[in-house]
Structure 1
Amino acid sequence: MLCWIFALAAAAGVPAPEAPPPPPRLVIAGGALFGPHAPGEAACQTREGVQRCEHTGNFFGVGANLELRARAVGPLFFHARGAVIGNVRPRPYGAHKGLVDIGLGLGVYSRLAFIRVEYMFVPTFGPSTYRPPFYDKEAGRDVWGRSAGMVSGGVRKYLTPRLAGELWAGLVIGPRSRRTTLQEDAGADRVLVTFLASLGVSFDLIPGRAPPPPKPAPAPAPASPPSSLPTLPTPVLTPESGSVASPPAPVSTPETPSATPTPEAAPPPPGDTVGPWQPAPG
C-alpha cells in the first residue's frame, strides 16, 4: 500500500512531457563518409617454402558528403546529396583514384530516426587500370558504370533545439563492374553490392511552423435569474387518476322570501298579573 502511495505522489510531482516541436522545413547535413567497397583480384605464390599473396584492383572509399533536405508533406522529405570519395588503396594497386556521388531520394523522417531510398549517379575519376598480382605492368582494368541505388536508415540525437548528431548506413546495389585482366578466371562482369555509412551532423535551416492554437469555445449564454415565486409541481396524469370521476359541483339556488307571516307578539295572559299600571289592592 505504501508503494502505491509513493508512486502516486511521485507521478503527481512529475511535470507533463512537452510536445515535440514541428518538423523542420529545410535541413542541411554533412559528415564523413565510408564506402563503397569493391573486391579486387587476389593470387598467392610459394617461393622457397614461403607463401606470398597479393590483392590488387580493389577499391575502398573514404570521403565527405553534404546534403540538403526539404520537407514535402507530413514526415516526407526530399533530399539531394553530393559527396567526393577517394580510394584509400594507392595506385597502381587500386583501380580508380575515387568517385563523385550525386544522390536524389525520398525519405520518412522522425525526430529520432529516418529511412529513405535514393538514386545515385557515381562517375569515377582517375585511371581504371591497375597492376595484377605479381605483375610489373598495369595490365588489369576495371570499368564501372555510373548508376546505383541505395536503401538507407539512420538515427539522430538533438544536441540543441536545431543541431543534431547523425549516424546512417545503407545498402548500395551497383554500379556495374566490367573487369579484364591477364588471368581468365579473374575476369568478371558483375553488379557491385556494397555499402555506404556516414557519421555527421544536421542543422535545421528553417524550423517548422507551430500549428495554430485551437479556437476558444463559445461562451455559454447567461442564465436567467431565478424567480422569487415558488413553482408548483406539474401534475402528472396517471390511468388511476383519469378513471376517478370527480363529484358534480352543487348547484346553487336563489333564496326565495318565505310566505309564512311573521307571528305577532302574544297579549299578556289574563289573571292576577300585576302590572305597573294597576293600583295595589287594599
Structure 2
Amino acid sequence: MLPWIFALAAAAGSPAPEGPPPRPRLVIAGGALFGPHAPGESTCQVRQGVQRCEHTGNFLGVGANLELRARIVGPLYFHGRAAVVGNVRQRPYGVHRGLVDVGGGLGVYSRLAFIRVEYMFVPTFGPNTYLPPFYDKQSGRDVWGRSAGMVSGGVRKYFTPRLAGELWGGLVIGPHSKRTTLQEDAGIDRILVTFLASVGISFDLIPGREPPPPRPAPTATPVAPAPAPAPTPESAPAVTAPAPAAPVEPVEPAPAEAAQPSPAGGPAIGPWQPAPQ
C-alpha cells in the first residue's frame, strides 16, 4: 500500500507532460520486407516403404522497401512505396526469382500508430517455370498478374524528436495467378491472398509547424475624460439684470402699554386710580 501512496504523491508533484509535437509534413521510411508468399504444388510418393514429399513452384519473398509520406490535411497522408524482394525458394524448384513492388495509397497516422490502404503494381522477374514434384524437366508454369491491393496497419516508437522505429503488416489481395502443370488437378486459376510485413525506421524530413502562441486577452485601459471646451462669446450664458425689489410698506409702531401703578403708592395714572377715601 505504501508504494502506491508514494507513487501517487510523486505523480502529483511532477509537472504536467507537454503536448505532442505537430505532425510532420514529409517523412521518409524504410526497412526489411517479408512477403509475399504463394503456395506451390506438393506431392508425396512411397518408394520401398518410405514416403517422400516434394513441394515446388512456391514463392516466399524477402527484400527491402522505401517509402515517402506527405501530409495532406490533419492526420491524412499520401504515401508512395518502392520495394524489391527475392524468392528464397531457389530455382528450379521455386517460381520467379523475385518481384518489384511499386505502390501508392492513403493512410491515417498518429504519433504511435497508423492504418492505410494502397494499390500495388507487382511485376515479377525471372522465369515463371518450375520443376513439378518428382519430375526432371521444367514443365510447370505459374503466370502472375501485375496488380494487387493491400490493407495494412502498424505501430511506431520515437527514439528522438524526428527518428522512430516502425513495425507494420498487411493483408495483400492479388495478384492473379494461373498455374499449369503435368497433373490436371494441380493446375489452378486463383487470386493470391497473402501478406507483407516490415521492420524499419522512419525520419521526419520536414517537421510540422508549431501552432502560433495564443494572443493575450485584451486588458481594459482607463479612458481620460475629454477636456472641457474653452468658453466663447457665443457659448457664454446671457447676463440678465436682476428683478427690482418689491416696495416695503412702513409698519406703524404698536401703542405703548398702560403704565403700571407705582409701587410707592403715589397717584396712579390711568384707569387703575384708587377710589377717594
- Name the CA distance, whole Å, in 1 between partners of 2:162 and 2:7: 35
What residue number does 2:73 align with?
Answer: 73
- Name the CA distance, whole Å, in 1 between partners of 2:63 and 2:212: 43
Give matches, 1:133-172, under 5 Å. Answer: 133-172=133-172
Letter in 1 for 2:179: R
Give matches, 1:23-38, under 5 Å. Answer: 23-38=23-38
What residue number does 2:176 align with?
Answer: 176
The number of residue pairs the alignment matches comes to 242
Shift of 1:222: 3.6
What residue number does 2:230 align with?
Answer: none
In the TM superposition, what whole-angstrom CA distance separates every residue of 1:9-59 from its partner, at most 9, and x where no partner exists? 434411101100000000000000000000000001111000110000000
Letter in 2 for 1:98: G
What residue number does 1:280 align with?
Answer: none
In the TM superposition, what whole-angstrom CA distance separates every residue of 1:86-137 from its partner, at most 9, and x where no partner exists? 0000000000000000010000000000000000000000000000000000
- Name the CA distance, whole Å, in 2 between partners of 1:31 and 1:201: 6
Letter in 1 for 2:259: A
What residue number does 1:101 align with?
Answer: 101
Structure 2 segments unaligned to the other structure (5+ residues): 225-249, 268-277
What residue number does 2:39 align with?
Answer: 39
What residue number does 1:211 align with?
Answer: 211
CA RMSD of aligned residues (A): 2.6
Letter in 2 for 1:124: T
Structure 1 segments unaligned to the other structure (5+ residues): 225-255, 273-282
- Name the CA distance, whole Å, in 2 between partners of 1:185 and 1:168: 37
Shift of 1:263: 1.9
Do residues 131 (structure 1) and 131 (structure 2) align? yes
Letter in 2 for 1:110: S
> Residue 79 of structure 2 aligns to a residue in which SS?
strand
In the TM superposition, what whole-angstrom CA distance separates every residue of 1:126-151 from its partner, at most 9, and x where no partner exists? 00000000000000000000000000
> Residue 32 of structure 1 aligns to a residue in which SS?
strand
Shift of 1:221: 3.1
Cα 1:43–1:8 change in 2 (3 A) is closer
**TM-score when normalising by structure 1:** 0.80
What residue number does 1:194 align with?
Answer: 194
> Residue 10 of structure 1 aligns to a residue in which SS?
helix
> Residue 90 of structure 2 aligns to a residue in which SS?
coil
> Residue 217 of structure 2 aligns to a residue in which SS?
coil
Cα 1:19–1:260 change in 2 (3 A) is same
What residue number does 1:265 align with?
Answer: 259
Shift of 1:6: 6.2
- Name the CA distance, whole Å, in 2 between partners of 1:16 and 1:142: 60
- Name the CA distance, whole Å, in 1 between partners of 2:252 and 2:137: 163
Cα 1:221–1:9 change in 2 (3 A) is farther
- Name the CA distance, whole Å, in 2 between partners of 1:27 and 1:4: 41
> Residue 143 of structure 2 aligns to a residue in which SS?
strand
Cα 1:220–1:8 change in 2 (3 A) is farther
Cα 1:23–1:215 change in 2 (3 A) is same
Shift of 1:215: 1.0
Shift of 1:4: 10
> Residue 185 of structure 1 aligns to a residue in which SS?
helix
- Name the CA distance, whole Å, in 2 between partners of 1:128 and 1:4: 64
- Name the CA distance, whole Å, in 2 between partners of 1:167 and 1:4: 34
Cα 1:262–1:217 change in 2 (3 A) is same
In the TM superposition, what whole-angstrom CA distance separates every residue of 1:230-279 from its partner, at most 9, and x where no partner exists? xxxxxxxxxxxxxxxxxxxxxxxxxx96885212534645559xxxxxxx
- Name the CA distance, whole Å, in 1 between partners of 2:253 and 2:6: 103
Shift of 1:3: 10
What residue number does 1:275 align with?
Answer: none
